Amino acid sequence: MAYITDIILKRRSIRRYKPQKIEKGIILEVIRAAMYAPSAVNKQPWHFIVIDDRKIMERIMEIHRSSKMLETASHAVLVCGDELLQHDTGYWIADCGAATQNMLLAATSLGLGSCWIGLYPRENRMNAIRELFSLPSHVLPFAIVSLGYPDEEKEIPDRFKPDRIFYNTWANPY
């Protein structure tokens, strides 16, 4: 059994996938993990659109030039925030960020590769995606997560920076 810290360190942005389809049950497990993310006052202001239509993925790649990993992804999931469900103005952003991170970690734990494709706060991207998916006005696109069986391996980099940790005040390194 892997510890969560092992999964956190192992998670990488995967941009090349094998041509194997992910089973529906595994996709649902990834989204289940997203729905267990913390949210302000437990409002859970998120919605998810599962995408496996190649034409829709091609359209996303036209809209967002940094989404080329969708060429080989089995699926993608559009993470949306619902302004009517959020605790207060702007809370949907942090809530959807937590849900997206849970998806990435769940994907890694299930042997999948994933990549966070940012939409928020780029209004041009958000508006184009909103139109593509016919989202209601109170539902805002936050991110797209590509999913697939990885066709690349990445080393775990050393990102630990002790000089960014302080004790009780800024002037006191930990």
What is the set of domains in the chain, with CATH numbers?
4-151 (3.40.109.10)
pLDDT at 111 over 70: yes
Look at the block and give the residue holding tokens 């030039």. Answer: 65
**Stretch 73-100: mean pLDDT, rounded?**
98
pLDDT at 3 over 80: yes
Long-range Cβ pairs for the range 131-137 (8 Å, 24+): 132/56, 132/59, 132/60, 132/63, 133/49, 133/78, 135/80
141 HSE (CA, 13 A, CB side) = 26
pLDDT of 92 reads 98
What's this model's pTM, rounded to 2 decimal places? 0.96
Instruction: Give φ, ψ of 32 to 5 degrees.
Output: -60, -45
pLDDT of 40 reads 98
**Stretch 79-84: mean pLDDT, rounded?**
98
CA distances to 82, 96, 167, 168 from 118, in Å:
17, 12, 33, 34
Q: Confidence band (pLDDT; 50, 70, 90) for 167?
A: very high
Q: Confidence band (pLDDT; 50, 70, 90) for 169?
A: very high
pLDDT of 63 reads 98
Q: Confidence band (pLDDT; 50, 70, 90) for 1?
A: low
